[in-house]
Amino acid sequence: MKKLAVLTVALCVSALCCSAPAWSFGRKTVIKVGINAPITGDIPKVGEGTKYAAELWLEDMNKAGGIEVGGTKYPVELVIEDSESKAESAVKASTKMITQDDVMIIIGPQASKEAIPAGDVANNYETPMITPWSTNPDTTANRPYVFRACFLDPFQGPVLANFISDEFKFTKAAVLYDVASDYPKGLAEFFKKAWEGKHGAGSVVAYESFTTKDTDFSSQLTKIMHSGAEVLFTPQYYNEVALIVQQAKALGWKGPIVGSDSWGSAETVELCGKACYGQFFSTHYAAAGAQGATKAFIDRYKAKYGYVPDDVAALTWDALGLAQQAIASTKELTGKIKDDRKAVRDALAQIKGFDGITGKMTFSGTGDPKKCAVIVKISDKGEYEFYKSVCPE
């Protein structure tokens, strides 16, 4: 009889464990937030900024006693996974966080080559995802559960084409980009289309490409030098920017080299040095001269980690702020993870006038915010100085 009783109790407990959501059974409901970031791989500084910003946000959540939903405060946990800067690893990380860790929402990945496939996973599992930094339109297209905290490349490309045209009065441009990576390939195409729309077919006089991990760009740069181009546009990541700019200067390039938001890493100037001084790029915020909440974040980040946060860190902070607001706006957590994820998704799609440290954001039912871009000039001190702001019409 005793053995039978013990067996009966064990079976009952087992049934309860299987029927209750893993994220809430046996303890107070915990809001789990996934962080999918390239901690290792080609762009580890991007992963570092993501992780550091998330840790600062978690400090605030802990001090506040969690996120308040419907009058109840729920503790928050971060689940951090390394995407290794690879599409397949980003997919694996998101799948694990959704199916095993029961995260309510995922922040990241950052780079478009990871965010696009990982976004497919999040959407298929009906789990909200916010990419802080992926500007490629394919990341959110036809994916109601995928959002971003940044502007899009169809906006960024024309912004840069218009800026160069207005600022320098140039009519002939060259482009150098990584053909094997979604972000630079897409942005190069949007820039070319916008530039030739202003200056006519053939006004992009050199359209040169390379493949990820290439380090010698002398052949492409020599062609650009002989093309008659007045400006070089290169939408590459910080580890490639330094090589491209330094090699261009060594070959005798005298014109400006203009970049995109992928230049915004703290490592860009450190690796590039004086060769990058005086150059311009489009981005999401300018650290030099920042005020208010933006300055407070910068000061706090620098005091703890020893350097000024780049746009990835700032955008991650805003993405977490969006997640926090959406979760709080649901008014109630049911304990049913699928239902709660849908409620968070619906709340995200309706956020209006979110006052982030990288600017105001408004969503109108889709994952793409209405948001301004910033043009930054790298000063002779290597600082990212605000030059001008460009907003959607």
Cα 122 → chain centroid: 16
Residue 61 is encoded by which pair of tokens? 């959540």
pLDDT at 252: 97
Identify the pLDDT of residue 166. Answer: 95
Residue of 292 and 23 predicted with greater confidence:
292
How far apart, in whole angstroms, are the C-alpha atoms of residue 272 and residue 316? 25
The band of 227, judged by pLDDT with boundaries at 50, 70 and 90, is very high
Distance CA 46, CA 131 (A): 13
Residue of 67, 49, 153 lying closest to 328 (CA atoms): 67
Question: What pLDDT band is residue 11 in, cutting at 50, 70 and 90?
Answer: very low
Q: What is the pLDDT of residue 280?
A: 98
For residues 298-323, give the mean pLDDT: 97
**pLDDT for position 101:** 98
Q: What's the pLDDT tens digit per position in 104-156?
A: 999 999 999 999 999 999 999 999 999 999 999 999 999 999 999 999 999 99
* Beta strand pairing call for 72-74 and 67-69: antiparallel
- Looking at domain 28-151+291-371, its CATH superfamily turns out to be Response regulator (3.40.50.2300)
Domain boundaries of the chain, sorted by first residue: 28-151+291-371, 153-283
Query: Is the confidence at residue 345, as pLDDT, over 70?
Result: yes
Q: Is the fold of 28-151+291-371 the same as that of 153-283?
A: yes
pLDDT for 50: 98
The pLDDT value recorded for residue 19 is 34
Is the pLDDT confidence value at 14 over 80?
no
Domain 153-283 sits in CATH 3.40.50.2300: yes
Nearest CA-CA partner of 277 in 193, 189, 163, 385: 385
**β-pairing verdict for 257-259 and 280-283:** parallel
What three-state secondary structure class fits 86? coil
